[in-house]
Structure 1
């Protein structure tokens, strides 16, 4: 391999990330060779800051990298724990005086754009090889296969045989990764990364002056990097590769963050490296026998704390079964699945409804047996990393800590925030910004939901914890202050919502709560575009209702008269009216969301037309056309008439009611009318003298909507009444209880009866059941009369009181 220009001996170590076996191999090779350079797969732009990694942090930690430009937002992590081969390479390289460098492309680079984790191996590329090997070794999955082939190597050796065991491990790893790469496709992203890493290797070999060079990369890349180095030439200028810089105008950076075993574990969704990190930590520290013994006790203790009965005999049985399974499977000491299978066999006596989670890969499925879940949790561990004080952090961290200390929000417990004073509003905004950023430990228990309610305080629960600092560091990707970062997150949420106007309503209210409703012109433009393309009336109504309430009434949060919210209101009104006029369809059930959308449009036209420049005349024209259309759904026809009535448009509600007086449509038409003009209908009813005509009379001239409706219902057949009743009941739900009681009382007065309207509303039988019974009686009467068996019975009574 050496050439005249490059005489260094290069040792390539392909590793599986977070593997104790690979970490032991790296440690042994670096200590034995004492190389001039140790080159590690990692972000090359962090090489100059390797000293930050070695400040004495408590592992696990990660390099968090973020990037943002006009077209792309990206965040990724490069995690390290004590048994990560990359971590061992860095520390052992520094200990022996080697020059240590990261040699992979920066995390922001497009070649890594699809990865949220640099060390996330693409398992699908290994699938065919692993499936064949799993069948050959009679194991369930790639994790069990890996343990069987590699973990514990070196533990069998005694005395001077350790070096031979490491040589054997190195050969087997090389053979495995060569097999994987030989049968797997490498995409253009991989080849770009490998070509870049090869340039670093060639440069280091040329500069090593004959001393060894050790290269530590993911096993998938090992053979390709070696092939590129051996088949290529050193760079013409003989220098080191340039570290790519982000494009002009892009924002990015990298910081260390505390990590946790929970985030590393495949059973919680992490798709790189090894599952059960606590098991492998103990394997790294004391070997497989010690790991199995220690974790057996931990599992037993966890189960006992959960009041699961576990006796000493059960513990002995678990250890015996674990050791027996290890020998049966040809293991010198218990492997991870030997331990888990032994624990299940000894401690679980129930039938299991699911496959054991370690027989596959991925998150623990809901409904797992409690004892199995405790076993998985014990082997996962609860270790959380900590950074040494003074470790560089993004400006957001200091801003958040200062705000919390200044506002006395850095403690734990319940906090009440009063929105009516300046300090309380500032505290609320800081807490909401932290909530929007996803910082754990800040939970709102109660507070305003729309901005239009008379709610003057909020209650929060504060719970500081180990996960707060990592979240703050990662949130630093959005901005240097809580205000800027929250605004950036809201802008991102607006973009993610797309045309889902229901989600936009939530984002707008969060913007009000955070005090950043008018910070971003881009938010306004994106929302306007989403509204202009929205096709779902219910969602538009939700946005319009929330936004109009804030624009009109919000003095607490400071959004009253907001230009952004005014623009949203105007856009929603225009879009709602356009969609309503284009809707066609025959009889259908009333749709409350679209009726609420029209009601919100009515409110906007009543209260904001002049300041926002809303075209009231155009809205009245739409209402007139829709209410007269025979193709529009009945509820929209009624709502359109109600919109015109509530805005003062002349029209005859009784004539309109009579035009909709079919059993299939009358209830839905009324639902639309009541949703938009309930106040007008009720005021008309209250302003009239009750008629003495118990049947409602034949002449509707000069009578109100409810009086005419009474007459129409009385004249219905039982069958028609049964058809109309469900929609009629839904329509009257638009009246609040007190108004329904008043309407019931007027109904009694119209019949010259005395009684309580409230009692009339509290029928002791289901009205639908009674109506169905009366319809059946009427049908029977007709059949009897047709056969000459009896005179058709007169139906009377029920509808007059229903």
Structure 2
């Protein structure tokens, strides 16, 4: 006997009925189905008695690639009907497609995404011929509302046409040669009994050709290895890779093309009714549900509107030549009767794609009614990955299994509450529904020591836990793998890396994942913005030095980040170029480098002497922004405390002032951001008495330079000078004011110089104006008349 090929559209009620009838009439020895071959030893799991829809979730992870994919099944999926009816008919049932971890699926998240875009040209011609708007309307016109007589022949002609206009890529060719190997093996084993092959229609013409005339071609020669039983072997994941497949609950919302599903039929709730009761009952049910939903949301729908919608739907069905109402007939009838406003966009069922924001409320409810609310449920005996059991055990041990109504207030200084916090954060980074944090520390040095977690929707929790099992067998391992993946995302940038770092701290990841440590260090080594990288370094260093809450002080997680960030920042700073002005984030980055060199030198690959030499080069580079030159001068001073002339800030100021008062202010801003006490504080001699050394002389030199400035230059440079001295806290400003009074031999309170009734800049400008007026009056000898 030969193989019988049924090309189907995934999740099509008419195709599902055809599969069921064919199995009943043919009574095949073998039923081969497009599906993950690695599940062949576990088909009994699929038939435990789940409430559909469910999906086979597959995952793969190695050092270079990670992938996840789903093979969803609902009551009217032809693959599900083939599995169920084939078993009932006594046939041997097998999935024959490559496992999801095979490279052929590297670019797919949905096994059944046969993607009509591959044969769009053919369907567009057919749409024009049959005067329909979309491929979904075309499918309904040709297959869902027509009588079942001749359905197989129409499907063969349709798929031969669309495949003839489309070219399979290398991935599809690999899948098809593998499936053809299974077909040949089944034919050889079936003897004189038939073999039924149920695959997506796109693959059907190729499988017929690959298996020869009538499906009987010589075995072998296809490159796929066979086992001792004659069946093709299932390709195994590479050594060291982690891969597996599990059943997960699925929902109609996930199946719906309006929510972004890539293949199959849109409006799964509607087609569930078509499968169960037929097109006429589905049309009546949709009219009723839409009206009920609209009325529940306060949308005025009268009985007359319902009658009008029904009449319009019946009229469109007849006008379009449909023997039974199609989905678009009902939807267009509802739209015509219920929407009286002008629409600024086409109705969504005239094309494929997601429902766009701003859609008319009635349209939104129509789409929701077609989608349906059903969510699948797995049988209690369904095997689950180890992570599910680990999470359940941890939640029970820490009294976090209070259910959807529970909320938690945690004291992070308490060891038990800290562990509870870590478990909840690990679930959060894995995106497991259940609880959300509403209060708590926002960054590594935020002085907040309590957290509040409130109950949120638990919808989808079971599926999310199973899918998270792709990241590891335990909650800690899975969270670490998720955070590692986030650090590998180059598009996340500095903000994403900073969040990943803090999430690692919150999850208690210190020292538990060498790969996470390596990726964090590598991530900071690739950032290009000095300011953002400086924030990361500052936070990491603060936690490494002072943390007493999260338990990461002096731990390897932060050490790797501190070392990588410091080396990267020194490289970025030496190559910095730019316009004038003060870049405060960059100055904070230099401060962070200084603090790392002074307080954590044992962590760093860059010796202190090397960093000092880099700072000195930056400070003398005329191409470097002037504020960064001042900061580098201060950094060099921090690291060397050099008393020689080359490190004398007073001499440096005399050089910088030749570039203008604005440049002087910007240079001082950089200097004061790094070194205030070092360059303005009193210097003591060996006897402990203060002396006016190089550090003290900086104030004297600045005072002399500023007093000698012409009024216009002083006023021009005053904003930059004020900005520079804003780095000093009040006590240090008071000390500087006292030094200025002392230089002038004036007795009095230095604090009076720091208190003004108006903006000092305004006062300086007013004084300059008064002096100009006085000079002008004196020139014309008008002063005595006033």
TM-score (ref. length: structure 2): 0.86
Contact 1:722 1:772 in 2 (8 A): no
Of 114, 118, 122, 2:115 maps to: 122
Aligned pair 1:555/2:553, yes or no? no
Alpha-carbon separation, structure 2, partners of 1:397 and 1:679: 57
Aligned pair 1:466/2:459, yes or no? yes
Greater shift in the superposed pair: 651-660 or 254-263: 651-660
Within a 5 Å distance, the mapping from 1:192-271 to structure 2 comes to 192-231=174-213, 233-235=217-219, 239-271=230-262
Contact 1:59 1:81 in 2 (8 A): yes
Structure 2 residue matching 1:671: 3-state secondary structure: helix
Contact 1:323 1:333 in 2 (8 A): no
Match in the other structure for 2:623: 631
The offset of 1:739, in angstroms, is 7.1
The offset of 1:184, in angstroms, is 1.0
Alpha-carbon separation, structure 2, partners of 1:382 and 1:266: 15
The offset of 1:487, in angstroms, is 1.6
Structure 2 residue matching 1:166: 3-state secondary structure: coil
Aligned pair 1:135/2:128, yes or no? yes
Alpha-carbon separation, structure 2, partners of 1:735 and 1:321: 78
Structure 1 residue matching 2:211: 3-state secondary structure: helix
Contact 2:411 2:451 in 1 (8 A): yes
Aligned pair 1:304/2:295, yes or no? yes
Match in the other structure for 1:354: 345
Task: Spell out, residue by residue over 1:267-291, the C-alpha distance to the aligned partner (whole angstroms, 9 max, x if none).
Answer: 2221111222112112222222322
**Compared CA separation, residues 703 and 373, structure 1 to 2 (3 A):** farther
The offset of 1:710, in angstroms, is 10
Contact 2:682 2:696 in 1 (8 A): no
Contact 1:203 1:234 in 2 (8 A): no
Aligned pair 1:589/2:581, yes or no? yes
Task: Spell out, residue by residue over 1:529-585, the C-alpha distance to the aligned partner (whole angstroms, 9 max, x if none).
Answer: 444444431232132122212211122221111134223212322222232223344
Within a 5 Å distance, the mapping from 1:266-305 to structure 2 comes to 266-305=257-296
Aligned pair 1:76/2:33, yes or no? no
Alpha-carbon separation, structure 2, partners of 1:453 and 1:301: 50
Match in the other structure for 2:601: 609
Match in the other structure for 2:363: 372
Aligned pair 1:174/2:156, yes or no? yes
**Compared CA separation, residues 491 and 396, structure 1 to 2 (3 A):** same
Aligned pair 1:489/2:473, yes or no? no
Of 432, 437, 440, 1:439 maps to: 432
Contact 2:145 2:325 in 1 (8 A): no
Contact 2:662 2:721 in 1 (8 A): no
Structure 1 residue matching 2:55: 3-state secondary structure: strand
Alpha-carbon separation, structure 2, partners of 1:337 and 1:447: 50
Of 496, 500, 503, 1:507 maps to: 500
Match in the other structure for 1:665: 663
The offset of 1:262, in angstroms, is 1.7
Structure 2 residue matching 1:240: 3-state secondary structure: coil
Contact 1:554 1:560 in 2 (8 A): yes
The offset of 1:13, in angstroms, is 1.0
The offset of 1:226, in angstroms, is 1.5
Alpha-carbon separation, structure 2, partners of 1:57 and 1:347: 38
Structure 1 residue matching 2:436: 3-state secondary structure: strand
Structure 2 residue matching 1:74: 3-state secondary structure: strand
Alpha-carbon separation, structure 2, partners of 1:360 and 1:793: 86
Match in the other structure for 1:395: 386
Of 405, 414, 428, 2:396 maps to: 405
Structure 2 residue matching 1:220: 3-state secondary structure: coil
Match in the other structure for 1:144: 137
Contact 1:34 1:98 in 2 (8 A): yes
Aligned pair 1:450/2:443, yes or no? yes
Match in the other structure for 2:569: 576
The offset of 1:238, in angstroms, is 8.5
The offset of 1:598, in angstroms, is 0.7
**Compared CA separation, residues 634 and 246, structure 1 to 2 (3 A):** same
Alpha-carbon separation, structure 2, partners of 1:302 and 1:741: 69
The offset of 1:398, in angstroms, is 0.6
Task: Spell out, residue by residue over 1:679-722, the C-alpha distance to the aligned partner (whole angstroms, 9 max, x if none).
Answer: 6678679xxxxxxxxxxxxxx99666599379739946558745
Alpha-carbon separation, structure 2, partners of 1:793 and 1:356: 83
The offset of 1:385, in angstroms, is 0.8
The offset of 1:112, in angstroms, is 2.2
Match in the other structure for 2:376: 385
Contact 1:502 1:540 in 2 (8 A): no
Alpha-carbon separation, structure 2, partners of 1:168 and 1:408: 61
Contact 2:706 2:714 in 1 (8 A): no
Alpha-carbon separation, structure 2, partners of 1:403 and 1:703: 64
Alpha-carbon separation, structure 2, partners of 1:122 and 1:740: 70
Consecutive unaligned residues in structure 2, runs of 5 or more: 221-227, 684-693
Alpha-carbon separation, structure 2, partners of 1:498 and 1:350: 42
The offset of 1:21, in angstroms, is 1.7
Contact 2:521 2:564 in 1 (8 A): yes
TM-score (ref. length: structure 1): 0.85
Task: Spell out, residue by residue over 1:440-478, the C-alpha distance to the aligned partner (whole angstroms, 9 max, x if none).
Answer: 223222222333333222111233523111111111111
Task: Spell out, residue by residue over 1:214-260, the C-alpha distance to the aligned partner (whole angstroms, 9 max, x if none).
Answer: 21100001111112222453437882222222233322111100011
Greater shift in the superposed pair: 524-533 or 288-297: 524-533
Structure 1 residue matching 2:202: 3-state secondary structure: helix
Within a 5 Å distance, the mapping from 1:473-484 to structure 2 comes to 473-484=466-477
Of 311, 326, 330, 2:317 maps to: 326
Match in the other structure for 1:521: 514
Consecutive unaligned residues in structure 1, runs of 5 or more: 1-7, 154-164, 686-699, 795-802
Aligned pair 1:86/2:74, yes or no? no
Task: Spell out, residue by residue over 1:616-641, the C-alpha distance to the aligned partner (whole angstroms, 9 max, x if none).
Answer: 23333333332233221012012112
Task: Spell out, residue by residue over 1:644-680, the C-alpha distance to the aligned partner (whole angstroms, 9 max, x if none).
Answer: 3445444444544454442443443243234323566
Structure 2 residue matching 1:17: 3-state secondary structure: coil
**Compared CA separation, residues 654 and 444, structure 1 to 2 (3 A):** farther
Contact 1:255 1:392 in 2 (8 A): yes
Task: Spell out, residue by residue over 1:413-459, the C-alpha distance to the aligned partner (whole angstroms, 9 max, x if none).
Answer: 43112211221111111111111212122322222233333322211
The offset of 1:147, in angstroms, is 1.9
